[in-house]
Amino acid sequence: MLKVADLKPFNVSNWMQKKSWSDTTKNKAIGILKRAFDWAVEEGLLQENPLWTMKRPAATRREVVATAEQRDQILEAVRDQEFKQFLITMSQTGARPGEIAAVTAKDVNLQVGVWILQRHKTAKKTE
């Protein structure tokens, strides 16, 4: 068994090579490990994070778009009406779940029939 004091990024890389993981899974695994060691440093359990220099592979996006038939099947299966409305809103707006969940009355313009989101992913780019 390897002690934390002896742990090097090489050990993690070697361990991950034995897995049939995608780069995204490797990215997330390294991120989790690094965060756990950061926590240990913050709590005074370690002097430094042994993985702080470890690079993570780039995560890739999944490009899967549900067909209209698949969306209908999903909506048919959902019994909770509020959640069903949430899913319909996501489908019709393209907004992220967190953006929809954060909508408040001040974001709603009933005269025009739109939401104007002040807090969103590209807010700083579109100011």
Question: What digits encode the pLDDT tens for the residues 46-80?
Answer: 999 999 999 999 998 888 888 999 999 999 999 99
Per-residue pLDDT, 62: 80
Residue-level pLDDT at 121: 56
Q: What is the rounded CA–CA span in Å between residue 40 and residue 6?
A: 16
Residue-wise DSSP of 77-118: H---HHHHHHHHHHHHH---HHHHHT--GGGEETTTTEE--S
pLDDT at site 79: 96
pLDDT band at 9 (very low <50, low <70, confident <90, very high): very high
Query: What per-residue confidence (pLDDT) applies to 125?
Result: 61
| pLDDT bucket at 110, cuts 50 / 70 / 90 | very high
**What backbone phi and psi angles, to 5 degrees, belong to 35?**
-65, -40
